[in-house]
Amino acid sequence: MEKLLVSTEEFNGRYVAMKSFDDNTIVGAGDEPEKALKDAESKGCKNPVLLYVPEKDIVHIYTLDLAKTVRF
C-alpha cells in the first residue's frame, strides 16, 4: 500500500520538510534542501524528514554511490 506524503501540487519541484513519516505536516519548504530544513527548524521541528517533490509528469531516478555516502 502506498502512502501519499504530499497531496498538493504547490510544492512540485521543491524540497519539503515534514514533521515525521507518520505526521506528514509540512513545516518547511524551499528550492534548496538547506532552506527547507532551516524553515522547519525555525518552527521548532528538531528532526524533520526532508524530501524532494518532483515536478508533475517528471520521473526521477536516483542512484546511490556508496563511495560518496557519508556515514555517521
Residue 27 within any structural domain of the chain: yes
> Does residue 3 lie within any of the structural domains?
no
The three cell numbers locating residue 48 = 524533520
Tens-digit pLDDT profile for residues 20-52: 888 889 999 999 999 999 999 999 998 999 999
The answer to the question of residue 61 being in a domain is: yes
With H, G, I as helix, E, B as strand and everything else as coil, classify residue 27.
strand
Q: Looking at the chain, how many residues does it have?
A: 72
pLDDT > 90? residue 10: no
5, part of any domain: no
- 67 pLDDT tier (thresholds 50, 70, 90): low
Whole-model pTM: value is 0.71
The answer to the question of residue 34 being in a domain is yes
C-beta separation of 11 from 55 below 8 A: no
Contact 26, 36 (CB under 8 A): no
Asked whether residue 30 is domain-assigned, the answer is: yes
Count of the separate structural domains present in the chain: 1
Range of the domain at 26: 10-68
DSSP β-bridge partners for residue 46: none
